[in-house]
Amino acid sequence: MESFPDVRILKAQAREQFTILLGNFYGKKDLVIDPSLMTVLDRITGLQFLKEKGVDKVYKLEHKEILGGGNKRVYIVRPSVKAMRHIAAHIHSDRRAEKMRAYKIFMVPRCLHVCESILEQEGVFGPNLIEDLNIGFIPLDQDIISLENPALLNSVFMEGDFTWLHTVAHSIVGLQTTFGTIPNVYGQGHAAKIVESLTNTLTSELGEKKSPLQHQIGHLVVLDRDVDYVTPLCSQVTYEGLLDDIFEIKCGVVDFGPEVTKTEKSVKTMLNSEDSLFSEIRDRHFTNVFPYLSARAKEIQANYDKSHSMELKDLKTFVSSELKGLKQEHRSLTLHIGASEVIMKHKTKGSLRRGDLQDILHIEHSLLEGSDFRECVNYIEECIHRQYDMLLTLRLLCLLSCTTSGLLPKDYNNLKHKFLHSYGFEHMLTFFNLKKAGLLTEAQTGKDTSIESNLNKLADSRTVGSAVSYVTSSLAALQKKDWFRTVSKKLSLIPKPGTEYNLKKPSDMAYVFGGAYTPLTCRLVEQAIQRQGWGGLEDVLRHLPGSNFEKLEARSAKAGKSASSGEQASKVALVYFIGGVTYSEVAALRFLAKQKGYRILIATTAIINGNRMLSSFVETVR
């Protein structure tokens, strides 16, 4: 599969654009960077690169004044109201201090009209002040690329604001410009449909030269996050998924604290396939990680011991060829053993606010299977009364709702009442947001005159245009009776009760959830690629939010010598998640690729987990 896209090109392209913009602002300058972009820029450039391009000092964007620094300053920010207020405050502060300074604002990925309006209202807007810095995809690994834009989830799926979808479409056009036109495109979801339309418009505007016989990617599958909320709501049990849950992986980098390193220092570690040890354990079920690490530790020790009995000539060869690799693997092994120990502590009794992982998994499996409903409700009520971590409780509430096609009004109001009493009444807005997003809903039971219903009508009346139809259609799809049971049965997402599952040698993608559930998104990807479209899945797709589409391009009869590269590309698929992807889904798609002989490149707007997804809908008192 030599035709698999080399995503390192994307990093080089982003760096080149950044270099050009910095170069156009001549001389020594300071950078003020949006905190959410710190890790992203570090992946693209690094401090040494910035120094070479004339950067003197680097600051984090905050509201407080930055009076120091040189006479040139570059702001690198997201196009947000908050960032514009901070920048305006800084400029006003300089003016009061009579500090003469030249300013430049790089907007990632592009400037919005609201940003210009705020700067104009503040009296700091000027010509050539703003430049677009479209970083595009950040390669997190050889098969994962991300826009690192978590704000899209809330914006699109709760607020019904489709501004960011232009960025998604632009990123697809950029990929096709680099790796060739993708001949077969399949999508599911309202946002996916809009992105397809925008992609066609942008492509025609750019006047792209079509070269369907030289493409490196044969299939594109675009999926909305709200097509499958169940997967991110389930507890992750793969090693990389647990690392993300406990330590939070940011842009492919994890910060291991003293509890892992067993020293006073923290260590930042890049998590990708360049680390051969991590590459072996990242997608394993957690129960299979310790045995592997133990075996590797013994092998490394045996290699060290071997050197003691070597002659001088052999020892020189060992030092020059093997020792460096052994030391690096030993360092990686020490960190991952330490991380595994911390995971065990976090997921067992003793960490009272998080609950016991085995108890939580039992409840999740019952919800997925549709059994022991009352036991599940009782456990959630216990979580509320014991004031377990709020996001854990919310996650179980949302999973209960999603797997039962909405809660009965009696159960919904009872659980909501107890939740608000325990965690605070400011979370009335949180429940409102979750309902709008389709995560925590009431089942339709005929005539509904509740206050909650009236609140929803009020929300809909304040939302205009396409946002109304989008939120309404999403809720309508989610509230179809027993949609999850129907889809699960038709796609065989849940194994039959009593089925034994070998986690050491898994036979299907369900291993990422201990054999209890196959991610819906991953099953859809499998079916779309196998069937070359959605044909035969109409009974499944009609239960899911949004509409579906497919675009198939027939191969030319003049393929000639390009036929072999076309055959290779037909085994390469790009899967694009609008709203975020979890590491459990990444692991499942890697398993699918290995099992079926595909090469799958995963693109996403952000890497998410259950907590980060729900955090974007939680209201906090300001």
Segment 282-326, tens digit of pLDDT = 999 999 999 999 998 888 777 666 666 665 555 555 555 565 566
Least confident of 168-172, 508-512, 618-622: 618-622
Least confident of 1-15, 382-396, 466-480, 605-619: 466-480
CA pair distance 342, 610, nearest whole angstrom = 20
Amino acid at 150: P
Whole-number pLDDT of residue 564: 53
Whole-number pLDDT of residue 329: 79
Dihedral sign (CA 522, 175, 51, 35): negative
Least confident of 152-166, 317-331, 582-596: 317-331
Q: Is the pLDDT of residue 557 over 50?
A: no
Band the pLDDT of 478: cuts 50, 70, 90: very low
Tally Cβ neighbours within 10 Å of residue 205: 9
Q: What is the mean pLDDT of residues 241-269?
A: 93
Give backbone dihedrals phi and psi of 262, rounded to 5 degrees, phi first: 60, 25
Amino acid at 157: F
Tally Cβ neighbours within 10 Å of residue 141: 18
Least confident of 37-41, 210-214, 262-266, 569-573: 210-214
Do 220 and 203 lie in one domain? The reply is yes
Band the pLDDT of 220: cuts 50, 70, 90: very high
CA pair distance 313, 319, nearest whole angstrom = 10
Whole-number pLDDT of residue 439: 96
Q: E-strand spans in 23-71?
A: 29-33, 55-60
Q: What is the mean pLDDT of residues 491-495?
A: 93
Do 222 and 332 lie in one domain? The reply is no
How does the average pLDDT of the chain come out, rounded? Answer: 87
Do 267 and 377 lie in one domain? The reply is no
Do 432 and 532 lie in one domain? The reply is no
Which position has the higher pLDDT, 170 or 346? 170
The total number of residues shown for the chain amounts to 622
Last residue of a domain, one of 346, 365, 396: 346
| Locus of tokens 């705020």 | 118
Residue 573 lies in a domain: yes
Amino acid at 579: G
Do 481 and 372 lie in one domain? The reply is yes
| Locus of tokens 């509740």 | 450
Amino acid at 607: I
Residue 81 lies in a domain: yes
- Residues pairing with 188 in the sheet: 223, 548
Residue 186 lies in a domain: yes
Q: Which residues contact 48 (CB under 8 A, 6 or more apart)?
A: none
Do 131 and 149 lie in one domain? The reply is no
Last residue of a domain, one of 346, 378, 393: 346
CATH of the domain at 331: 3.90.830.10
Do 378 and 470 lie in one domain? The reply is yes
Q: Which residues contact 489 (CB under 8 A, 6 or more apart)?
A: none
Range of the domain at 219: 141-228+519-614
Band the pLDDT of 232: cuts 50, 70, 90: very high
Global confidence as pTM: 0.90
Residue 1 lies in a domain: no
- For the stretch 355-406, pLDDT in tens is 788 899 999 999 999 989 999 999 999 999 999 999 999 999 999 999 999 9
Whole-number pLDDT of residue 560: 46
Residue 3 lies in a domain: no
Do 553 and 570 lie in one domain? The reply is yes
Whole-number pLDDT of residue 215: 80
Residue 493 lies in a domain: no
Whole-number pLDDT of residue 317: 59
- For the stretch 33-45, pLDDT in tens is 999 999 999 999 8
Is residue 77 within 8 Å of 108, Cβ to Cβ?
Answer: yes
Question: How large a percentage of the chain has pLDDT more than 70?
Answer: 85
The angle at the Cα of 453, spanning 452 to 454, to the nearest 5 degrees, equals 90
Q: For every residue of 369-399, which 3-state class applies, written as one string?
A: HCCCHHHHHHHHHHHHHCCCCHHHHHHHHHH
CATH of the domain at 598: 3.40.50.1910
Do 150 and 128 lie in one domain? The reply is no
Whole-number pLDDT of residue 346: 82
Q: Which residues contact 4 (CB under 8 A, 6 or more apart)?
A: 216, 572, 599, 601
* Count of domains observed in the chain: 4
CATH of the domain at 107: 3.40.50.2060
Do 49 and 16 lie in one domain? The reply is yes
Do 189 and 119 lie in one domain? The reply is no
Last residue of a domain, one of 436, 471, 488: 488
Do 460 and 375 lie in one domain? The reply is yes
CATH of the domain at 408: 1.25.40.850
Q: Is the pLDDT of residue 343 over 50?
A: yes
Whole-number pLDDT of residue 328: 79
Whole-number pLDDT of residue 211: 46
Is residue 408 within 8 Å of 445, Cβ to Cβ?
Answer: yes
Residue 496 lies in a domain: no
595: phi > 0 → left, psi -120 to 50 → alpha, else beta; which?
alpha
Residue 510 lies in a domain: no
